[in-house]
Structure formats: structure tokens, C-alpha cells
Structure 1
């Protein structure tokens, strides 16, 4: 009898996301086991329980998924799990806390493609402003943009929160990020003024920039929003917009459903590739971004 495909799903939170459970089932995993309130200290023991119990042949059909909401903690957990294994006892790993890795990857890949269509060299030397940027998606998207050569600012209503998020995230992932207060209209418009790209990554149902605010962004080329709940995060950006001209600006708009379609395909491909891999693989947000680029490139053919 063939051994079943098992995915052990770890989260520091009180429950595993049903979204991730559904995605794993649709990717072909036959047995899904959630583990809640997992600590960084406990991840090594759980990993070793998973790798030793099935032997090298069974390990090929075993995967570990790391969820939660904290992108910094998820990255640490991924690293701890990886270091807890050794050949031939290795299993595949994937992290996607709160969907932030795949969502950020999709958003940045869509933005990069729009910039290239406009004649830019992708994100290189672009000024990127992330509104609501201290959250999970904002931090990861900021890192991805910075790695591609952009100058990145994380915007938040509180200057101290923005500065700390930029400092801690930049230090963790080896990039330079700036923080800025965008709580007051004059602060927001000052941050928007030099921006080539604005990414709205705040919580659902919160509009972070209105029409008058966006009018201050004279250099704007791409405005992307992950909020599908009315009102839109950026005024004038529709959920289904896919590089549609944004009225009153020189930018194109990318909406939440356009990003979400890419995000869905990225997560499905990562989980499927993890299950199908003949040797253990490790998927973090860098691999999610590479996969998002594949999906976006396929769309443009």
C-alpha cells in the first residue's frame, strides 16, 4: 500500500486558517493535521517527530506548513524547522503566514509587470510607498520591492510604528526600509508626492488614500490595492482592475481580485510542487515571488 501524503500544519495562533486547509487539500494532500499555539521553541521537536516516524521513503510524502500572522516569526520557524533536519531524514517545508507571503508576492509581481509595460526597468530605482505597511503583507511586499532595487517606505498612522516596523523588518531580511507617518492628510500627501508606486496593504474596508490624496502623487505609475471590501483602499481602484488607467492620475490600477487570482495560483503551485517533489524543498516568500512572476508572465502571453 502506498503511503498517504501528510501535511502537518503549524500555527502560533489559536486555530489554523480554513483557507490554508482547503488549499492544501486541493493540492492533493490526503491527511491534514493542524497544530495550534506552536512556539518557536517547539518547532524543532515537532519537525523531528515528523521526519523520524516515516523513514526516508515516507519523508518524501510528508510536508510541513507554517502559518500564523507574524511574518517575522514564520521566517524564524521556517529556519528552525530546516535546521532540525538532516539527510536522509528531510521533508518539504512551506511558510505562508496569513497568506502574506503569497499575497505580497502576487502584488509585487503584478506591479513589476505593469512598470515594465510602461517602459520602466521593473522596480529598480522606483519610489514605493506602502500604506498600512506595518502589517504582514506590507512588510513582505516592502522587502521584495527593496530586493528589486526600489526605495521603500512603510507608511502608518503612527510614525513610531512605521519606523520600528521598517527597522526590524529591514534588519531581519537584510534590506533598507524607511518608515513614515501617514496619519494626517498633509503627512500622507507628502509621502505620496515622490511615489512611483503606491501599494495599499491596510486592513479590509479601510480607505488609506482618497482622490485628493492621490492627486498629490504626480509621479505615480502604479496603484495597487489588496482590499476587496468596500470602500477600496485607494480611491478609484476597482477590485477587478488589472492595469486599468486610474482616473485623475498617470497611473494604472491593480485591484484586489487581480492580485488575488495570482495569489491563489501561487499558493496552489507551491503546495502542489511540495507534494510532488522527489527531494525535500523549502518555500518561503522568495520562492513565492519567483512563482508569482511565472504566473504573471503566463498571463501576458
Structure 2
């Protein structure tokens, strides 16, 4: 009798995301079991509980997902889980805290596509402003853009010290080169926008981070991308369905939350399927999500 496929879902928080449970089951896992308050102190033990109980053949039908909200902790938990494997007892592991790895990858791949399509260029040497840069999606999107050659500012509304700390931690953990910048007022925002080629809006849902008058200050802007699907639009003039639509009478094009979300959904779904179908264990983090997002984005052309 064929063994049922089981997805063990670990989170440091008090609850696993229902979104992630749905995604795992829709990707073909027959049983999805959430475990809460799993952290650095017990991820190894939980992983080894999962791999040894089904025997060498059973591990092929077993997977581990790591959620939570902390992008650095999730990356560290992924590394610990991978190190806990004892061949031939090995299972695939996929980390995507708050959906940040797949959302950030979808955001960056979508912008990369429009830079090429609308402006015949790429991220190399471009100035990228990440609004909401201290959040989960913003940090990973900034790291990915940096790895593609962009000069990245991670914005914060807090102190200069806090902005610098977030950038330093992001750079160290994700092999990036970002810079923290504090933006508290419209004048400060317009000053930074005047020298910006690409904007990622990754702030809280339902908050407009760039008004129409502020956007007018971004005279060099090529692409503006917004992950906020809750009204009002995070970037004035960018609709949720936009995918390369010209913004007003400017040279810039916009990418809306649902266009990015379509890519994100496909990325997460395909990575879950890859876990379940791979002949050998795979270990999936933000870099693998980016590779998959580029594949998905390429299919849109």
C-alpha cells in the first residue's frame, strides 16, 4: 500500500498560517500537520522525529515546511533542519516565513521583467527604494535586488540606528549590500524619490506610502511595484491588476499587488510540488524561490 504524503509544518509562533496549510494540501500533500512554538532550540529534535519514524522508504513521502514571521530565524531553522538529516533518512524542507520569501521573489522577478520589457534594462546599477524595508517582504526583496546588482535603500520610520541595524543584519545573513534610510516626512520621501529608479512598496496593507504629488518627485522612476491589495493603493496611480501599465504621463510603469500575487501563488505552489515529487531531498529558501519566480515570470511573455 502506498504511503500517504505528510507535510509537517513548523512555526515559532502560536499558530500556523491557514494560507500555508491550504497551499500545502492543494499541492498534493494528503496530511498537513501544524506544530506551533517550534524554534531554534527544538527544530533539530522535531526534524529527527519526522525522519526516523517512517523508515528510509517512507521519507520520500514526508516533507517539512518552516513558517513564522522572522526571515532570519526561518533561514537559520532551515539550515538546522538540513543539518539534522541522517542519510538515508532525509526529507525535503521549504522555508517561507509569512510568505515573505515567495512574495519577495515574485516582486523582484516581476520588476525585473518590466525593467527589461519596458526599458530594455535590468537591476544592475539601479537605485531601488524599499518602502517598508524593515518588514519581512521588504528585507528579502531588498536582498534579492542587491544580489542582482542594485543599490538598495531599506527605509524605516524609526531611528537612524535601527535602520542601520536592519540593513546590517540583512546584509550579513543574506549576502546583500543594502543601506538603511530613515523616511518620516513627505519632504524626506520626495528627496529620496528624486534619485530613485525603482520603488518597492512593501509596507502594511491599507496604507498609502506614496501620494500622487510625492510620486511626481520621482523623475527618474522606471518601475513602481506595490504588494498592497487593500485600499487605498500603496502607490497612487498603481492599480492592483496593473502589470506594466504606464503610470499617468510619466515614463514609469506600475505593477500591482494581484499581478505580483499571481506569480507568488505559482512560485509557492510549484515549490511545494517540487518537494513532494523530487527524487532527492531539496532544501528551499529565498534563493530557490527567486529562481522559480524568474521561471514563472518568463512564462508571462
1:134–1:161 CA contact under 8 A, matched in 2? no
- Give the match for residue 109 of structure 2: 109
TM-score by length of 1: 0.98
TM-score by length of 2: 0.98
1:180–1:191 CA contact under 8 A, matched in 2? no
The Cα of 1:245 is off from its aligned counterpart by: 0.2
Per-residue deviation, residues 64-118 of structure 1 (Å, max 9, x unmatched): 0000011010000000000111321110000110000000000000000101113
RMSD over equivalenced CA pairs, Å = 0.9
Per-residue deviation, residues 167-211 of structure 1 (Å, max 9, x unmatched): 111111121110111111121111111111000000100111111
- Give the match for residue 13 of structure 1: 13
- Give the match for residue 265 of structure 2: 264
1:115–1:122 CA contact under 8 A, matched in 2? yes
The Cα of 1:162 is off from its aligned counterpart by: 2.1
2:118–2:253 CA contact under 8 A, matched in 1? no
Length, aligned pairs only: 300
Secondary structure at the counterpart of residue 299 of structure 2: helix
- Give the match for residue 99 of structure 2: 99
1:8–1:35 CA contact under 8 A, matched in 2? yes
Q: Does 1:187 align with 2:185?
A: no
Distance in 2 (alpha carbons) for counterparts of 1:258 and 1:119:
19
Distance in 1 (alpha carbons) for counterparts of 2:155 and 2:247:
21
- Give the match for residue 161 of structure 1: 162
Structure 1 unaligned residues grouped into runs of 5+: none
- Give the match for residue 175 of structure 1: 176
Distance in 1 (alpha carbons) for counterparts of 2:101 and 2:240:
20
Comparing 242-251 with 256-265, which one deviates more in the overlay? 242-251
Structure 1's consecutive aligned runs of 4 or more residues displaced over 4 angstroms after TM superposition are: none
Structure 2 unaligned residues grouped into runs of 5+: none
